[in-house]
Amino acid sequence: MNKQIIGIIGSGAMGAGIGQVAAMAGHSVVVYDNNSASLERAKASLAATLQKLEEKGKIPSAADVLHRLIFADDIHAFATCELIIEAIVEKLEVKKAVFTEVEKVVSDTCILASNTSSLSITSIAAACAKPNRVMGLHFFNPAPLMALVEVIPAIQTNTALITLARELMAQWGKTPVLAKDTPGFIVNRVARPFYSEAIRIYEEGIADMATIDWAMTEIGGFKMGPFTLMDYIGHDVNYVVTETVFHSFFFDPRYKPSFSQKRLLEAGWLGRKSGRGFYNYAAGASLPEPNKDMEAGKKIFERILAMLINEAVDALYLNVATAADLETAMTKGVNYPKGLLKWCDEWGIENCLVQLDTLYNDYHEDRYRASVLLRKHVFAKDKLISNFTK
């Protein structure tokens, strides 16, 4: 898979970003969108971005990269492509319909990939005449800057494509990890408690948003607190992923969405992009000050950390990914200070289990049930969860 022609479906921020990555890696790239205005915006934005990269000495010639990018509003422009990456709205029926149309245009050997962050690759593949050529390639936003790519085979995917995809992503300068086709894959599954448990603590009145954000950044070492990050991502994206994962896991209470975030979405308070979310970003508005009580902050941090570790351990137990790929995904995909399995080892498996069991005994809710793997390691007095192998 060397320097083949790449097709991108969708000219939004993610589609254009993936197109930029492929073009900078030396590929000819066809960016398709049925919205001509969106195509023009993407072309102008990419031209400006590439020019800045040239001025900074990051690329030798912006013109050369831009020359490899073709912007098309006719799907037949994909006829010579050898790999198509879809990056459109997160709606399963829309993606299935688009893949069905694309398959009529491309060659029998063209690989079809979805950039979905949480939808079933198997369901998308099932809409195709040749489901064995369909897989997931989940980039993270912004695609040119974020290193991680989740490689997700459907149950129908030709296994030879996994190796090819990982090699190609490495050629593009990305860090590929292999994920099982389960809701949220690695990152959007394991990271859910970072948001949901923070909201739960806020809704219970234990701490306000600013204090929770402070605890996770100052004590936990995260680059952004959960409320700041949700506002940055946008609630039209973050909440929808949470809801999708919740539904896809047959309404498992571990992934239950919150009314607090849903109301923001309903109000159109999407975060930074709309000027209002959990926080007010309007001109002249000031962000609230946190309560910097270290003891209270430590309790908040450890509660959320225990939930994150439990999710990572359970993903390991259920073979969603290897221990190494789980650690890579969380450090490269969402910039966590360290891998959660390593964090578990450093904090102590017993401490993590005590935290979870205390929460479960207090609430009697299944969202706080400890992973069987965590409990097994404690009973076996095995100190290193990160060395787990079956």
Q: Is 150 a catalytic residue?
A: yes
**Helices 349-363 and 340-347 sit at what angle, rounded to 10 degrees?**
90
Q: Is 235 a catalytic residue?
A: no
Q: Helices 294-317 and 349-363 sit at what angle, rounded to 10 degrees?
A: 100
Q: Which member of 11, 114, 115, 138 is catalytic?
A: 138
Give dist(CA 95, CA 99) in Å, integer.
6
Q: Which of 316, 374, 356 is nearest to 182 (CA)?
A: 316
Catalytic residue among 115, 188, 196, 371: 188
| Sequence-ordered list of residues with C-beta below 8 angstroms from that of 180, at least 6 positions apart, any chain | 152, 318, 319, 320, 321
Catalytic residue among 86, 103, 150, 311: 150
Which helix (H) or strand (E) covers residue 304, if one does? Answer: helix 294-317
Residues 304 and 220: their CA atoms lie apart, in Å, by: 10
> Is 218 designated active site?
no
Of 115, 117, 118, 386, which residue is the catalytic one? 117
Active site annotation includes 61: no
Task: Encode 241-279: b = buried (16+ Cβ within 10 Å), e = exposed.
Answer: bbbbbbebbeeeebbbbbeebeebbeeebbbeebebbbb
Could you list the active site residues?
Answer: 117, 138, 150, 188
